[in-house]
Structure 1
Amino acid sequence: MSWQCEAQSAVSQAVASLERELTAPLLIRATPARTTALGEQVLPHARTALAAARSVEQLAAEAAESMTGTVRLAATPTVCQGLVPRLLRHWSEDQPRVTVRVFEGDSAEVAGWLENGTADAAVLIDPPPGPGIQLANDGYRALLPRDHPLAGEERVDIRDLEDDPFLISPNGCESRIRTIHSRAGLRFDPTHRVRDLATLISMVQAGIGITVLSEVSRSLIPADLALLPLEPQTARRLVLSGPQQRPWHPAVRTLAESAATYLAPWRQPARQM
């Protein structure tokens, strides 16, 4: 009963305040109370304003839900090593109520985990059009030892590296590296194939050969190696997305938008699909 009286008092105060603003009565205070002619005109607008306020409250409640929980994120090894650590640091500060668990796999595994529910979100590489937020346009670079004759150049044409032993990691990037060679009119004939990215980098350090990596790998490159823009130019799109066939975890879009804003200075303008 006490709550009802307080609520009625609040309504009376709100009506009285509005009457002072309008300098005209809205209610005839009798038993029962009824509206004046002006009150009848104001009433539909008051109902619209109340509905709008309730909609804002609902949006706030949904936003609060979207910023909590645990998100399982899948990504390829290059993305996990070169991009995900900085995102985890950013998310821990920007979205402290969201816990992100990382799963690393090749491109096929990542896509499969996303669709079968093992992962709630994934950083996909060149996905078909669909829901998602582009994080980066990740260009390909030549990785050379610092004592290589071309290491001091601003950019390198892959045709000028034709005589160098070429190293490759047989993962999702191989098809794009083949394309670079094809566009340059070169035969793709790697000297060594190694699975692990750290091994690949160590072999370039040891002078065994050169390779091509994407820009996202830059944070992993030691000081005695050079990562240089490559001709012909090509790039891959890194897109953070939830599953196409199931509803997204409420926090995924919040994380994706936060990541896109954080990475904006590092990438070309993003396009939401």
Structure 2
Amino acid sequence: MDVTLRQLGVFVAVTDHEGFGTGAASLGMSQSSVSHALAALERTVRGELVHRDIPVRPTPLGETLLPHARAALAAARGLTAAADAHHGTATASTIGLAVPPTVARGLLPRLLRLWHQHLPDTEVRIYEGLDQELARWLADGTVDAAVLVDPDPHPEGGLLLATDTFHAVLRADHPLAHEESITLADLLEDPLLASTSGCEPQITRLHAQAGLPYRPAQRIRELTTLLAMVEAGLGVAVIPTLAASMLPATLILTPLQPRLERRLVLTGPSNRPWHPHVTAIRDLTAHRTDPASAPTDHPTRT
């Protein structure tokens, strides 16, 4: 099968940008060149890969082949970087890093400063996603690295960045807000607001440990919306301490008992060699930081 990396890159770009014109612009190619390259790939794989509508969407065949295309492109990027490293050639390279929203807010800024200061040839492009999306993006080559939440088993070569715990988010005027710690049973009179953008498996586990049913009154995707609803007095929520910096002054974190931690692990893919620049940021981070409880800069009862 005569497939080229250029054809695969065109396929991924057209799909990701949902159009031939925008895909071509992202690659610095003409739209006609992109159309010809994709048509050639479709002849090779014996079927259409995308629907020629607006927005462009992959066909069933396209959905099947897209992860393979991403993985092949990721492997090619890694091969080029490995060759440069072998020859001692310092070349700039871009790697994709997938992170959950709370990590993007709570840990990422200081990590990006560290990497930029000591590895100026490495550009890290951030992909923010739900916990369940990150491992899939890493496996299919959408990204070169990810910060995974509670990976099981611990990935080979993975670096524990931090652990944090789950707290109740209450209004500062809530009767329980200033307790040393509370239980989920203490909150049964309050509507539970749950975020679907991550951490729901851990919050479900907390309820199971307490012998309580998990019955959120509302399930909200955006964490900022969730916090605004708590601030408005519409209920309470449970979030990890890394999200503390997102809280307004009217909200407070109160520790929950029993205590539940989550582990945040920086890793490359398990199904192909790591991009050398991913190894470099892992090694730098391991030497410059200590895996510890995630810092917070917001009032919390501890």
Choose between structure 1 and 2 for higher RCO, CA contacts under 8 A separated by at least 6 residues: 1
Q: Structure 2 regions of 5+ residues with no counterpart?
A: 1-84, 295-302
Match of 1:112 among 93, 114, 136: 136
Q: What residue identity is the alignment partner of 2:100?
A: T
Q: CA deviation at 1:99?
A: 0.9
Structure possessing the higher radius of gyration over alpha carbons: 1
Q: Does the alignment pair 1:180 with 2:206?
A: yes
Match of 1:89 among 103, 113, 124: 113
Partner of residue 126, structure 1: 150
Equivalences, count? 208
Match of 2:127 among 103, 106, 130: 103
Residue 205 and residue 257 in structure 1: after superposition, are their counterparts in 2 closer, same or farther (change >3 A)? farther
Q: CA deviation at 1:263?
A: 4.5
Matches within 5 A, 1:135-150: 135-150=161-176
* Separation in structure 1 between the aligned mates of residue 124 and residue 283 of structure 2, nearest angstrom: 15
What are the superposed Cα offsets for residues 171-225 of structure 1, whole Å, 9 maximum, x if unpaired? 4411211111121122211111111111001111111111000111112122211
Matches within 5 A, 1:241-252: 241-252=267-278
Q: What residue identity is the alignment partner of 1:133?
A: L
Secondary structure (helix, strand or coil) at the match of 1:72 reads strand
TM-score (norm 2): 0.63
TM-score (norm 1): 0.69
Residue 65 and residue 164 in structure 1: after superposition, are their counterparts in 2 closer, same or farther (change >3 A)? farther
* Separation in structure 2 between the aligned mates of residue 254 and residue 67 of structure 1, nearest angstrom: 13
Partner of residue 43, structure 1: none
Secondary structure (helix, strand or coil) at the match of 1:256 reads helix
Residue 157 of structure 1 contacts residue 230 of structure 1 at CA under 8 Å; is this kept in 2?
yes
Aligned-residue identity in percent = 46
Q: CA deviation at 1:86?
A: 2.9
What are the superposed Cα offsets for residues 109-158 of structure 1, whole Å, 9 maximum, x if unpaired? 21111111110100011112322111111211111111111111222222
Match of 1:259 among 260, 274, 285: 285
Q: CA deviation at 1:264?
A: 2.0
Residue 65 and residue 183 in structure 1: after superposition, are their counterparts in 2 closer, same or farther (change >3 A)? farther
Q: Structure 1 regions of 5+ residues with no counterpart?
A: 1-60, 269-273
Secondary structure (helix, strand or coil) at the match of 1:85 reads helix
Secondary structure (helix, strand or coil) at the match of 1:203 reads helix
Residue 232 and residue 153 in structure 1: after superposition, are their counterparts in 2 closer, same or farther (change >3 A)? same
* Separation in structure 1 between the aligned mates of residue 191 and residue 90 of structure 2, nearest angstrom: 50
Residue 93 and residue 184 in structure 1: after superposition, are their counterparts in 2 closer, same or farther (change >3 A)? same
Match of 1:224 among 239, 250, 264: 250
Match of 1:197 among 223, 228, 241: 223
Q: CA deviation at 1:64?
A: 6.8
Residue 154 and residue 95 in structure 1: after superposition, are their counterparts in 2 closer, same or farther (change >3 A)? farther
* Separation in structure 2 between the aligned mates of residue 92 and residue 174 of structure 1, nearest angstrom: 33
Partner of residue 265, structure 2: 239
Residue 131 of structure 2 contacts residue 199 of structure 2 at CA under 8 Å; is this kept in 1?
no
What do you get for the CA RMSD once the two structures are aligned? 2.3
